[in-house]
Amino acid sequence: MRLFGTDGVRGVANQDLTPELALSLGRAAARVLGGGERARILVGRDTRLSGPMLESALAAGLMSAGAEVILAGVLPTAGVAYLTEGHGFSAGVMISASHNPVADNGIKFFAADGHKLPDAVEDAVEEEMRCARPDPVGEGVGTRLSDTALREEYLAHLTELVGTPYGGGVVLDAAHGAATAVLPFAFSPAARRVAVLCAEPDGKRINVGCGSTAPDYLRTHFRAFGGTVGLAFDGDADRLIAVDEEGEVCDGDVILALLATWLKTRGELLPAAVALTVMSNGGVRDFLAGEGIRCVETRVGDRYVIEAMRGQNILLGGEQSGHIIYRPASTTGDGLATGLLLLSALAETGVRLADFRRRIPHYPQRLKSVRVADREAALGSPRYAETLAAAEAGLAGVGRVLVRPSGTEPVVRVMVEATREEIADRWLEELCEALLQKV
C-alpha cells in the first residue's frame, strides 16, 4: 500500500504515524530532495500535541542524512510553502493533519519551488525508505536551527495583499490551530474592526467544534463580537469558509465565484478561467459560465487543482471545502490570503456577501462519509454496483453522483446532486446502505 496519500503521509499520531516512521521518512526525504547535495529543509507545524514529537523525530531523520534543518515553529501550511520558495530551501515540510481530528497528524512535503511533490518524487522517497545506506559521520551529520522570525516574512507577504480596507467588522475563527500565530496581525489593516475567536494555540482543541469544519460556532458568535462577516480557518489555515451578513455559510464555491468575478472586472483574471473540482456545485459552474468564465474540472484535492492551474496558466482555482489558490499570492491553498482578498473584493465592489451568495444557483447536494472496514471490498460489491448503476440512470438529466474513497481516512465519501432535494436524499440513502452491506 502506498505510504503517501492525497495530501502527504497522514494517520493517527503515535499509532499509524509513529516517531519511527517520521525518522525513516526524514532520512529518505533528505537523500531524495537534496539532489545529491547537502539539503536545507524548512519544517513548520500546527498546534497539535503530537507536533513536537513528530517534529523531533523528523528532524533527527533529516539530520542523520546530513540535512540542515530550520524549524519555523507554529506556522500555516502556506507560510511553509512561501518561505521554502523565497529562501531557496531544498524542500519544506509541514507537520499537520489540517482539518482532521486532534488525534491525527500528517507530514507533507513541498519542493524547492513551493509546490507539493509530484507522485513520482513521493514514490522515490518511499523507495529510498526501503534502502539501507551508510549515514554520514563527523562533520557530515546535519544541523538544526530554530528560526521563528521567519513567520514575520510570511506576515509581511500577507499584508501586501491588503487593498481597500473593509468598512465593516470581521470576526475570525482560528480553530486553535496554526493561524493563531499570525491571524490578528495579518487582518488588523484589512478591516475597520477585527476580533479573533478560538485564538489560543491549543493542541487539545484544534478543530474541535470550531473552525472551517464547524462554521456554526462562528455563526453563533460573530455578531456578539461586532462582526459584519465572519471567516473560519482550519487547523493549518489552508482552508477558509465565510459567514455572510445574514449569518449564512458561504463555502469555497461562493468565495471562488466572488474572487473570480472581481478579478475579471479588474482585468486580472487572464485567462478568464478557474479550476475547480468535481465536488463543486453545478450552480456555481452555471453562474461562472454566465459571467464568461470558463471552468476547468479536476479530481478532488488541491494538488490536482494546482496541477491544472499550472498546466493551463490559470491564476485562480479552488475547492468547495475552502481551499482557494490564487497563484500570484501562493503556490498552495492559503486561507489567510483568501480571506484578505475576499475583504478587499467586498470593500472595492461595495457588494454584500449575502447578496452575492443569492446570485449563485445552488442545486441540492447531499454528502455523507460512510465508514467501512474495507474500502475496496465495499466499492467492489455486487449490491453497490447495482445501486450505483440505478442511481446514475435515475439521475440522468436531473443530477449526478460522485463516489470516492478518502485518501486519508477509512471512509467512502458519497455525493449526490439533483434538481430536487427528495431525489438527492433518496439516492444518497440507497448508495450508503449498499456500501454498508456485508461482502
Provide the annotated active-site residues: 98
- For residue 289, what is the DSSP state? H
Give residue 374's pLDDT.
84
Give residue 37's pLDDT.
83
User: pTM, whole model, 2 decimals?
Assistant: 0.90
All three cell numbers of 385, joined, read 454496483
Confidence band, pLDDT 50/70/90 cuts, at residue 375: confident
- 292-297 own/partner pairs: CB under 8 Å, 24+ apart: 292/264, 293/260, 293/261, 293/264, 293/269
Query: Torsions phi, psi of 9, nearest 5?
Result: -100, 125
Give residue 132's pLDDT.
86
- For residue 117, what is the DSSP state? P
Please say whether the beta carbons of 208 and 102 come within 8 A.
Answer: yes
Kindly state the average pLDDT of the residues 395-403.
90
Confidence band, pLDDT 50/70/90 cuts, at residue 228: very high
Q: Amino acid identity, residue 72? A: A
The pLDDT tens digits of the residues spanning 88-120 come to 999 999 999 999 999 999 999 999 999 999 999
Average pLDDT of the residues of the chain: 95
As a whole number of angstroms, the distance between CA 106 and CA 100 comes to: 10
Kindly state the average pLDDT of the residues 233-250.
97
Q: Amino acid identity, residue 244? A: D
As a whole number of angstroms, the distance between CA 212 and CA 335 comes to: 10
As a whole number of angstroms, the distance between CA 333 and CA 280 comes to: 16
Give residue 439's pLDDT.
44
As a whole number of angstroms, the distance between CA 100 and CA 79 comes to: 19
18 Cβ contact partners less than 8 Å away, ≥ 6 residues apart:
none
pLDDT at 223 over 90: yes
The pLDDT tens digits of the residues spanning 21-53 come to 999 999 999 999 988 789 999 999 999 999 999
| Start-end of H helices in 291-395 | 302-312, 335-349, 353-359, 375-379, 382-394
Confidence band, pLDDT 50/70/90 cuts, at residue 300: confident
Q: Which residue has the cell 465536488?
A: 279
pLDDT at 383 over 80: yes
Least trusted range by pLDDT, from 31-40, 243-252, 258-267 = 31-40
Q: Which residue has the cell 456555481?
A: 284
| Start-end of H helices in 193-334 | 216-221, 252-265, 282-290, 302-312
Least trusted range by pLDDT, from 76-90, 334-348, 382-396 = 382-396
Kindly state the average pLDDT of the residues 213-237.
96
- pLDDT above 90: percentage of residues in the chain: 87
**Domains of the chain (ranges plus CATH)?**
9-151 (3.40.120.10), 160-359 (3.40.120.10), 365-436 (3.30.310.50)
All three cell numbers of 104, joined, read 491525527
The pLDDT tens digits of the residues spanning 408-439 come to 678 899 999 998 999 999 999 999 999 987 54
Kindly state the average pLDDT of the residues 211-233.
96
- pLDDT above 70: percentage of residues in the chain: 99
Give residue 30's pLDDT.
97
Of 211, 256, 216, nearest in space to 232 by CA: 211
